[in-house]
Amino acid sequence: MPGFPLPNCALGVATAATQIEGGDLDTNWHRWAASGGISDGSTPARAADHWNRVDQDVALLADLGVRHYRLGLEWARLEPEPGVFDPEAFAHYRDELALLREAGITPLVTLHHFSLPGWHVDTGGWLGADAVAVFLRFVGEVVRRLGDLASEWITINEPNVYATQGYLYGVWPPGERSYRRTVAVLQVLVEAHLRAYLLIHRLQPHATVGLAHHLRVFTPAQARNPADRASTLASRYLFQDAVLAATSTGRSAGPLRVPRDLRPGRYADVHGINYYSRSTIRGFDHGVADGVEVNDLGWEVYPAGLVEVATQVYRRFPAPLWITENGTCDNDDRFRARYVYEHLARIAASPLPIERYYHWCFTDNWEWAEGEAARFGLVHLDFDTQERQVKESGLFYADVIAHAGVTEEAHRRWVAGRHYPRNGAPR
Ligand code: IFM
């Protein structure tokens, strides 16, 4: 299917505050970088300097024809001390949201995307005594002060990734390795989402509210091996199904208990899905099968998985589906256009109500523990000069937006003949 129409799925791009804004702030990530936690030694202090280049970046979004933009708010800027809100930081985000709207771009605002103010870390972060109340204070302030300019909200980005990277594998802040604390933090994030969902709707009844779930495909290394199969099911349940169930319904799920005062009901107007890859499970080991196509971080490229996970979500909890992230690390932009093409083709062929697709990422960005070394952008960023240059994949994406689908010509020009690396093969 070289060309195909995509009339029912609006295309956008996504970012997160800490990954693009830059700034010498006090957050869990600035502290983690200062303590040597980033593989290339970079810090989020420069990133894409978006804080100082909002006008330029909004103009670039408009040039690409983007109509939907997912952005994050940096909590540490808005609430630099507990309970003290910074009017200038709010004014800055108000200007950005107004600019987006003037350009015909609808903002989707993420309230928490992995980044916490330093004062929050000092009181225990998400495991601190009042973590949910503290989050709700922030959410309430944001919706009251920005709600006339935005009505689409993601409460929390990828709670399962935040919890496992930070509390189970210890590779992200706060660097812990404890199953008990991983479950504890997930449970707090579930409660935070549920209460934020209710609060936002109380303040803004017409709001659209969801959570951005990181969903993977899990597959046993050997389909007939009982240990691989059991481990696959357990991994999928613990990593994503339990969180999805609890945050969508307000009911306890497995180890995740929902407080009694929260009534079961609907807690997702849309399901945000961040989809990237598939994990192959061998016993307790999560890996990538030999010889499969991979990206520059070694993640398997498995486009069918996008609709596989979307189907699992929709069957259990029917609601509109928004792909809040999909993209790939391709440092030289050799195969990104093909990656986008193959994932969009699955959406086009699917009967599911996949209403939105946000490409991750707009520009190259600061990729957490990988720092500046992993490039996900449609727009190339020179971190030294801050020069932006639309990549071939960005031209392709703009063309898909303009035509509400992939034309034969676009396929021939940007997709045909592009190849992924193979796992285990020399690069
Ligand atoms: O960069 C991240 C993003 O912050 C959350 N989802 C996955 C992306 C790529 O790793």
Whole-number Å distance, alpha carbon 367 to ligand 1 midpoint, is 7
Distance CA 224, CA 426 (A): 30
Which percentage of the chain shows pLDDT scores above 70?
100
Which residue's CA is minimally distant from atom 10 of ligand 1? 367
274 lines ligand 1 (CB under 6 A): yes
pLDDT digits (tens, 9 = 90+) for 72-87: 999 999 999 999 999 9
Tell me which residue has tokens 């080991």.
Answer: 285
Distances (CA, A) of 365 to 20, 289, 349, 372: 6, 28, 31, 7
pLDDT of residue 201: 98
330 close to ligand 1 (CB < 6 Angstrom): no
Domain boundaries in the chain?
Answer: 4-213+319-407
Atom of ligand 1 nearest to the CA of 365: 1
- Give the pLDDT score at 395: 98
360 CA closest ligand 1 atom index: 8
364 Cβ closer than 6 Å to some ligand 1 atom: no
For a pocket test of ligand 1, which of 38, 213, 325 has the largest count of ligand atoms closer than 8 A to its C-beta?
A: 325
Distance of alpha carbon 234 from alpha carbon 267, whole angstroms: 25
Beta bridge partners of 279: 218
What's the mean pLDDT in 16-30? 98
Query: How far are the Cα atoms of 80, 282, 301, 327 from residue 422, in angstroms, in the given order?
Result: 46, 19, 10, 18
Measured CA to CA, the distance from residue 63 to residue 389 in angstroms comes to 12
CA distances from 93 to 263, 289, 304 (A): 34, 44, 37
Residue 21 has pLDDT above 90, yes or no: yes
Distances (CA, A) of 227 to 168, 234, 253, 290: 22, 11, 23, 19
Q: Is the CB of 360 under 6 A from ligand 1?
A: yes
∠ CA(421), CA(424), CA(427), 5° rounding? 45
β-strand 285-287 against 271-282: which pairing, if any?
antiparallel
Reported as a pLDDT band with limits 50, 70 and 90, residue 1 is: confident
Evaluated on CA atoms 256, 285, 360, 2, the torsion sign reads negative
Residue of 391, 426, 362, 408 lying closest to 56 (CA atoms): 362
Q: Which contiguous run of DSSP H or E holds residue 227?
A: helix 226-236
Whether the CB of 325 sits within 6 Å of ligand 1: yes
**Residue 413: how many other CB atoms lie within 10 Å:** 14
3-state secondary structure of 106: strand
Residue nearest to atom 1 of ligand 1 (CA): 367
Provide the whole-model pTM.
0.98
Instruction: Output the six-digit token pair for 362.
Output: 């707009």
Q: Does residue 107 carry a pLDDT above 90?
A: yes
Distance CA 217, CA 230 (A): 15
114 C-alpha to ligand 1 centroid (Å): 10
pLDDT of residue 426: 75
Specify the ligand 1 atom closest to the Cα of 274. 6
- Length of the chain equals 427
Mark residue 344 as left, alpha or beta (left: phi above 0; alpha: psi -120 to 50; beta: remaining).
alpha
Residue 222 pLDDT = 95
- Give me 136's structure tokens: 């709700």
List C-alpha distances in Å: 243 to 134, 246, 254, 336, 427: 21, 5, 9, 30, 37
Alpha carbon of 290 to those of 27, 162, 329, 336, 421: distances in Å? 39, 28, 19, 21, 12
Look up the CATH number of domain 4-213+319-407. 3.20.20.80
pLDDT number for residue 425 = 83
Q: Is the pLDDT of residue 320 over 90?
A: yes
